[in-house]
Chains A and B, each alone.
Chain A
Amino acid sequence: MTTVGAVAVGHPPRRVSVREGLADVAGITQRNLRRIVRTPRLLIFSSIQPIMFVLLFRYVFAGAIKVLHGDYVDYLMPGIFLQTSLFGGASTAVGLAADLQGGIIDRFRSLPMARSAVLAGRTLADLIRNVFVVALMVFVGVLVGFRFHGTVGTDLAGIGLVLLFGYAFSWLFVTVGLYVKDPETAQVAGFIPLFPLVFASSAFVPVASMPGWLQAFANVQPVSVSVDAARALLIGGPIEHWLWQALVWAGGVLVVFAVLGVRQYRRI
């Protein structure tokens, strides 16, 4: 029988240990994955959007876009992979804001768990979902004519980079979700930084085709750098030049927004 008044034996720990913290992260990740699996319609509809992007660019815009080397579909798909991975992060903001509104964050915060586990468990679950969505996009890409041109090692590294980039940015969405605090606003607010980053980049069109002032931005911003790195890994090109820049961006975004996100979480 449960006895509420029973006095616990010994002293409770003053701090959450690393082992307990990792268990908390695993528990929250499992909870979020269950939520993803149990809302299959959300998963299906959010996969349709990137598929439409593939079809749109592959069959509508492809003829109007000139790339220097090879087929446009090979140029396009690394951009689509990165866009998919990045847009997946928006659901991190929506999910956290919904948890805040529903009161379950209050419950978590009243428990002796690691506070950062709520955020880490959320971003990890969304990363795992992203693995499946990106895999789906690879499948769709192959159907419309995309081919890997690297070695198995560079191909996997390219997909890994795409996922890492999306994961780093999901911490930006953590911060957005905790800041706006309601799911509808989070949905809209999340896309504001994404649109200029994704569309004023080398994801879908060569930067050389843009006006000079825009090229200045498009050449250095993180999405261009990372798409070029992923492209180099997947279809060939100068890998090193882009890869280290992409890794610095991902690492920088991850650290900055993990710090901001955890700080915002403590303040709720």
Chain B
Amino acid sequence: MTPPMIEANGITKAFGTTLALDHVDLEVEAGTVLGLLGPNGAGKTTFVRILTTLLRADAGSASVAGFDVTRDAVALRSAIGLAGQYAAVDELLTGRENLELVGLLYHLGKAERRLRAVETLERLALTEAADRQVKTYSGGMRRRLDVGASLVGRPKVLFLDEPTTGLDPATRIDLWRFIETLVEEGATVLLTTQYLEEADRLANRIVVIDHGRVIAEGTSNELKAQLGGAVLEVTLTEGDQLDKVAALLADLGHSPPAEDLARNLVTIPSDADPKVIVEAARRLGDRGIGLEDIALRRPSLDDVFLSLTGHGAEDGPGQGAEPDGEPSATHGARR
């Protein structure tokens, strides 16, 4: 039995009257990737800041690589790497100078930090730009350098706080491939993201967090399995009929329907049976309800998120569909 690389028990943090984290427990085994998934303002960054000793928790305890976040802060810092949401590199220094500075601050010898800067630049395909000031870099290059800076100390545990937020799709996929390589090499990673696709692709286990609380955890497949075999997705032409449609089709599913006001969408977890879609289309057609699209597909993490929180993962809290209670009440109204 090896102890977990990251262990957090009852981590609680309030800013004024706002409870940012409410008794968060979490464990990450060595050599695995944990995806911490949640919308903006869910408390993901606060949690990472506590685990990386940037912020002190009000209550609870946590350790990373066996070091307590408060008692062994210096030792902990030498065992971790952090890449943030905002590329924390110096614009006026070159890429190489940035990495060598980080190496110096990890207290590596001169020859060693030069070597690691060269290696890191090579790995992140920045060798050509090594001696240019960072202010001339593109957003993607800057982010790669930021991730590179977190690798210079050869950390046991890597914290990636929304590493691809704000990147274009091609750059995002590049960075995903790179993170996958790190994982193949045995890195322990805590990755926060608001992109379900990202957690789905990179994480062994996913913890879903909303309003500072853990609301679900498991593998991507376990989370999807909570929703059963498939999802019936009905997109309407008129937004004001969402409640009516949810009530009308609720008995076709095995879990309560969820509504997404922003997209005029009703999703119903159901069996993977084509009869479901035929029956749904017939009922809607009989009542003359305008359909934009209707589909039966495998559930995505987005569906999981929607059914857990009542709002989509990429919406802020309070936007999107109605709270949890609403669809089940509708469900109960059906005979």
Interface residues of A (CB under 8 A from B): 1-8, 11-16, 20, 23-24, 27, 30-31, 34-35, 38-39, 102-104, 106-113
In the complex, which residue of chain B has the Cβ closest to the Cβ of A6? B154
Q: Judging by beta carbons under 8 Å apart, are A5 and B188 in contact?
A: yes
Give the contacting residue for B74; candidates A2, A13, A38, A103; CB below 8 A.
A13
- Whole-angstrom CA separation of A167 from B313 in the bound complex: 50
State whether A103 touches B88 (Cβ < 8 A). yes
- CB distance A24 to B105 under 8 Å? yes
**In the complex, chain B residues whose CB is within 8 Å of the CB of A8:** 78-79, 154, 156
Which listed residue (B77, B151, B186) contacts A2, Cβ 8 A? Answer: B151
Of listed B79, B80, B101, residue having the most chain A CB within 10 A? B101
Q: A12-B75, A23-B104, A110-B80 are in contact. Are A4 and B92 (CB under 8 A)?
A: no
Alpha-carbon separation in the docked complex, A113 to B73 (Å): 11
Residues of chain B in range 86-115 having any CB-CB distance to chain A below 8 Å: 86-93, 97, 101-102, 104-107
Contacts of B93 in A (CB 8 A): 31, 34-35
**27 A–B contact pairs at CB < 8 A?**
A2-B123, A3-B154, A4-B156, A5-B156, A5-B186, A6-B154, A6-B156, A8-B156, A12-B79, A15-B74, A23-B104, A24-B105, A27-B101, A27-B104, A31-B97, A34-B97, A35-B90, A38-B92, A107-B84, A107-B149, A108-B105, A110-B80, A111-B77, A111-B153, A112-B75, A112-B106, A113-B107
Set of chain A residues within 8 Å of B153, measured between Cβ atoms: 111-112
The interface size bin for chain B is: 35 or more
Q: Identify the interface centre among B52, B53, B77, B97: most chain A CB within 10 Å of its CB.
A: B77
CB pair B101 A31 closer than 8 Å = yes
The answer on a CB contact under 8 Å between B90 and A14 is: no
Distance of A21 from chain B, by nearest CB (Å): 10
Closest to B116 in A: A2
Give min CB distance, A170 to chain B, whole Å. Answer: 20
Rounded to whole angstroms, the CA-CA distance of A79 and B142 in the bound complex is 45
Q: Is the CB of A3 within 8 A of B89?
A: no
B187 at the interface (CB under 8 A from A): yes
Query: CB within 8 A of B185: which of A3, A20, A24, A109?
Result: A3
Asked if B139 lies at the interface with its beta carbon under 8 angstroms from chain A, I say no
Q: Which residues of chain B have a CB within 8 Å of any CB of chain A?
A: 31, 49, 52-54, 72, 74-75, 77-82, 84, 86-93, 97, 101-102, 104-107, 116, 119-120, 123, 133, 149, 151, 153-156, 158, 182, 185-188
Residue of A nearest to B146 (CB): A107
Min C-beta distance of B39 to chain A, whole Å: 21
Please determine whether A106 and B84 come into contact, CB atoms closer than 8 angstroms: yes
Which one, B49, B102, B133, B182, contacts A107 given CB within 8 A?
A: B102
Determine how close the nearest CB of chain B comes to the CB of A142; give it in whole angstroms: 33
Q: At the interface, is chain A mostly helix, strand, loop or mixed?
A: loop
A103 CB contact (under 8 Å) in B87, B123, B155 = B87
Contacting residue for B54 out of A7, A30, A104, A110, CB 8 A: A110
CB–CB A4/B154 < 8 A? yes
Please report the C-alpha to C-alpha distance between residue A112 and residue B78 in the assembled complex, in whole angstroms.
5
Instruction: Determine how close the nearest CB of chain A comes to the CB of B167; give it in whole angstroms.
Output: 16
> Beyond the given A30-B101, A31-B90, could you list 15 further A-B residue pairs with CB under 8 A, ordered by the A residue number?
A1-B119, A1-B123, A2-B151, A5-B185, A6-B186, A14-B74, A24-B104, A24-B105, A102-B86, A102-B91, A104-B90, A106-B88, A107-B89, A110-B77, A112-B105
State A16–B101 Cα separation when bound (angstroms).
17
Instruction: List, in ascending order, chain A residues with CB within 8 A of B74's CB.
Output: 12-16, 112
Q: Which 3 A-B pairs have the closest CB atoms?
A: A5-B186, A4-B187, A112-B78
Question: Distance (Å) between the CB of A129 and the closest chain B CB?
Answer: 14
A111, B151: Cα distance in complex, Å: 12
User: Which residues on A sit within 8 Å (CB–CB) of B156?
Assistant: 4-8
- Give the nearest-CB partner of A16 in chain B: B74
In the bound complex, residues from chain A placing their C-beta under 8 Å from that of B151 are 2, 4
Cβ of A106 and Cβ of B133 under 8 Å apart?
A: no
Q: Is the CB of B187 within 8 A of A5?
A: yes
Residues of chain A with a CB closer than 8 A to B88's CB = 102-104, 106-107
**Least Cβ distance of B28 to chain A in Å?**
13
The reply to whether A23 and B107 form a contact with Cβ atoms under 8 Å apart is: yes
In whole angstroms, what is the CA distance A110 to B146 when docked?
13
How far, in angstroms, from A1 to B53 measured CA to CA in the complex?
28
Residues of B within 8 A of A109 (CB): 53-54
Q: Which residues of chain B come closer than 8 Å to A13, judged between CB atoms?
A: 74-75, 78
Residues of B within 8 A of A24 (CB): 104-105
Q: Cβ of A34: which chain B residues have Cβ within 8 Å of it?
A: 92-93, 97
In the complex, A8 Cα to B75 Cα: how many Å? 12
Q: How far is the CB of A193 from chain B (nearest CB, A)?
A: 29
B contact residues around A104 at 8 Å (CB): 88-90
Closest to A3 in B: B185
Residue of B nearest to A4 (CB): B187
Q: Which residue of B lies closest to A14 (CB)?
A: B75
B72 in contact with A39 (CB, 8 Å): no
Nearest-neighbor residue (CB-CB) of B119 within chain A: A2
> For B87, what are the chain A residues with a Cβ–Cβ distance below 8 Å?
103
- Residues of A within 8 Å of B77, CB to CB, are 110-112
Of B49, B52, B75, B149, most buried by chain A (CB within 10 Å of CB) is B75
**In the complex, A13→B67 CA distance in Å?**
12
Complex: chain A residue closest to B100, CB-CB: A27
User: B78 and A12: CB pair below 8 A?
Assistant: yes
Rounded to whole angstroms, the CA-CA distance of A7 and B101 in the bound complex is 22
| Nearest Cβ on chain A to B88's Cβ, whole angstroms | 4
